[in-house]
Amino acid sequence: MARASTTSDAFNAIAEPRRREILSYLAGDERPVGEIVAALGLEQPSVSKHLRVLRDVGLVRMRCQGRQKLYRTNAEAIRPLHEWTETFERYWQHQLNRVKELAEATVRQGSTVLKTPNPNQKEKS
Amino acid sequence: MARASTTSDAFNAIAEPRRREILSYLAGDERPVGEIVAALGLEQPSVSKHLRVLRDVGLVRMRCQGRQKLYRTNAEAIRPLHEWTETFERYWQHQLNRVKELAEATVRQGSTVLKTPNPNQKEKS
DNA sequence: TTTACATATTCCCATATGAGCATGTAATGT
DNA sequence: ACATTACATGCTCATATGGGAATATGTAAA
């Protein structure tokens, strides 16, 4: 099998840096394609293709206005990504605490190897 | 140019669903490769290759113990992803408010609203 | 050393990509 | 009707991928 399609989900869609730039640019309000091209310095076909991917996964919305098409980021579609990364928040906080405590303990004494308090673990195997 | 390497950054690395599973599995504490293989039901070479990618971008840490190697998620490396998605939080909250207000207005007036946002829709034009 | 175990790497291959360029299409202006 | 504007799509091509199978590496046990 090859790599999954960029349109398979939001995770794959945002892997491309240009698409992340587009999403940030369109987060505030809707803009026509031409403005994206000018603002980000990309080729027009490239922008259109990126927008197509973003649209396929629901990360942007489109509206026609005369001969131009106005795109806008659908922030709600980014929420699942935020929630997934959030499940790791407690761990990086815990890791920071461990580093901190270890440093303090090292300063206080020579080698105080303490038992690692594991916050909670998913069951094994 | 082709698609960026999976090892180019964390965004590309987590685009692969299996790698996300591995990261979740290794979030609690370190585990040898064999347990990952058993727990996730993947082929051993596949797991090794995914771990290689995750290690290249710093998403996991490795430690040798005898003849096995213990891997653990480096949650801190996920933080930038969390922070990037967070920049959109105010927008999706705003959008939710709009939807809510619209719904309330609709109920008050008893009129039918046509444009219900459909995330899965791949509409044209 | 020989053997068994735990991981890593290599090779092959179907598939997907993104950039550049050309072309198609729809809406507007004259 | 014709030209122009604003996008979208089609094309080729170099490159990266992930799965499977086979193999290599490294460590420990017999």
Residue closest to B95 by CA, chosen among A30, A50, A87: A30
Which of A58-62, A92-96, B60-64, B68-72 is predicted with the least confidence, judged by mean pLDDT? Answer: A92-96
Nucleotides of C under 7 A from a protein CB: 5-10, 14-23, 26-28
Nearest-CA distance A69 → chain B (Å): 9
In angstroms, the CA A26 to CA B49 distance is: 36
Residue-range definition of the domain harbouring residue B18 = 10-74
List, in sequence order, every residue forming a beta bridge with A68; answer none if it has no partner: A65
Residues of B in contact with A27 (CB under 8 A): 87-88, 91
For residue B31, the model assigns a pLDDT of 97
With 90 as the cut, is the pLDDT of residue A85 above it? yes
10-residue stretch averages of pLDDT, chain B, 125 residues long: 94 98 96 97 97 98 96 96 96 75 60 38 33
Number of domains present in the structure of chain A: 2
pLDDT tier, A94 (very low <50, low <70, confident <90, very high otherwise) = confident
Answer yes or no: is A125 within a domain.
Answer: no
Do A96 and A74 belong together in one domain?
no
Is A125 in contact with B84 (Cβ distance < 8 A)?
no
Do B86 and B50 belong together in one domain?
no
Do A42 and A60 belong together in one domain?
yes
Answer with the residue of higher pLDDT: B14 or A105.
B14
List, in sequence order, every residue forming a beta bridge with A63; answer none if it has no partner: A70
Tokens of B40: 């996730």
pLDDT tier, A2 (very low <50, low <70, confident <90, very high otherwise) = confident
Q: Indicate the residue of A61, A89, A121 with minimum beta-carbon distance to B29.
A: A121
Answer with the residue of higher pLDDT: B117 or A17.
A17
For residue A100, the model assigns a pLDDT of 61
Residue A94 · residue B79 · CB < 8 Å: no
Residue A27 · residue A77 · CB < 8 Å: no
